[in-house]
Amino acid sequence: MTSEEELISLRQENAGLREQLAQRDEQLIQMQQQLVELTKQMQALQARVSKDSHNSSLPPSSDRFQRQPKSLRKKSEKKAGGQPGHTGNTLSLSSHPDQIFLARVERCEHCDADLRTIERLNLERRQVVDLPPKRLVIVEHQTEQKWCPDCQHISTSTFPDEVKAPVQYGPAFGALAVYLVQQQLLPYERACETIQDLIGPAMSVGTLKALVQRCAENLKPVEEQIKVHLRTAKVLHQDETGLYVMGKRVWMHVAATSTMTHYAIHAKRGQTAVDAIGILDGFEGISVHDGWATYWKYPCTHALCNAHHLRELTFVPVHTA
């Protein structure tokens, strides 16, 4: 091979090596871009995993198996227990006890003399506050018929309007049942079991639901008054949280001021539910919320909840360095 042929061969080999080097440079650039993209994705995933109810707007139920976060509240300098001026809840003696049992001194402890006719020197009282045995008050209503000897007509008296069935629960009994499920938050089945165990007669879940519905109907005017107050408030606090009703996911919407609170359960979380509740539509004050997108759709003044800010700021210094 002549020197000229060898030179041509070397030039061709050099060109091939240059092409391979260019391809590898291109691959290296692509790999670097992929590395940058994967690093961003990893940081985003790490940030998402690191967020919990302590450093974000996520609810405590999303914390899963993570260590329960400490509260952002600072430790109070007050001692534990009741504070000065706090009114205690100790039992006090009643001036009208239902039953009195007198333990009489009949004979002398020392000489066994008869003391039944001797006037006592002192009387000490102790009382036991207890529940009476199961005892229902049964109120029977009766009507009668009378025959008029003048016109031969038979007149019949009528039952009170609230007495509609042959046997029914009275208002106090119904109020207790509603109280157990609405104020003490007992499940319907357990409330019926409690009533039967403590009072006596059985109550079905269907009957209890009907009593709750009747109570809700009677409270509609009160609910509307609460809504009127909230619609005209200068500052309105709002939030929503998920819960399950008979195994189905629903949402509880809360609107509140320092004196009034309205709760509403709806199948939706967004604008459909807020419009149906009818408080924020037309509201002209300041709505304080957690930044949920639905709230921004209403043309009132908005303010974000500072508790959410503090949780978000707890997350920022650690994960954005």
214 shares a domain with 252 = no
Q: Helix, strand or coil for residue 292?
A: coil
pLDDT digits (tens, 9 = 90+) for 146-162: 999 999 999 999 999 99
Whole-angstrom distance, CA of residue 186 vs CA of residue 177: 10
pLDDT band at 70 (very low <50, low <70, confident <90, very high): low
Residue 295 has what pLDDT?
94
Of 20-29, 245-254, 259-268, 309-318, which gets the smallest average pLDDT?
309-318
Whole-angstrom distance, CA of residue 11 vs CA of residue 27: 24
Which domain does 241 fall in, by range?
221-319
Confidence (pTM): 0.60
pLDDT band at 238 (very low <50, low <70, confident <90, very high): very high
Smallest Cα–Cα separation from 263: which of 248, 249, 281, 250?
250
202 shares a domain with 245 = no
**Where is pLDDT greater, at 45 or 25?**
25
Residue 222 has what pLDDT?
95
211 shares a domain with 240 = no
Whole-angstrom distance, CA of residue 196 vs CA of residue 201: 5
Domain boundary among 199, 218, 237: 218
Domain assignment present for residue 62? The answer is: no
∠ Cα 142 148 153 (to 5°): 85
∠ Cα 219 220 221 (to 5°): 95
Residue 82 has what pLDDT?
66
Of 10-19, 62-71, 131-140, 210-219, which gets the smallest average pLDDT?
62-71
Domain boundary among 158, 192, 218: 218
pLDDT band at 259 (very low <50, low <70, confident <90, very high): very high
231 shares a domain with 304 = yes
Residue type, 55: N
Domain assignment present for residue 83? The answer is: no
296 shares a domain with 211 = no
Residue 223 has what pLDDT?
94
Residue 55 has what pLDDT?
65
204 shares a domain with 225 = no
Structure tokens at 15: 């060109």
Give the DSSP per-residue string, 192-233: HHHHHHHTSS---HHHHHHHHHHHHHHTHHHHHHHHHHHHT-
Number of structural domains the chain divides into = 2
Domain assignment present for residue 142? The answer is: no
Residue 202 confidence (pLDDT) above 70: yes
Largest CA distance in the chain: 153
CB 316 within 8 A of CB 308: no
234 shares a domain with 204 = no
Domain assignment present for residue 187? The answer is: yes
**Where is pLDDT greater, at 239 or 318?**
239
Average pLDDT, the chain: 86
Domain assignment present for residue 145? The answer is: no
CB 156 within 8 A of CB 144: yes
Smallest Cα–Cα separation from 180: which of 220, 227, 212?
212
Domain boundary among 218, 249, 278: 218
198 shares a domain with 234 = no
Q: End-to-end CA distance of the chain: give it in Å, rounded.
A: 64
Residue 318 confidence (pLDDT) above 70: no
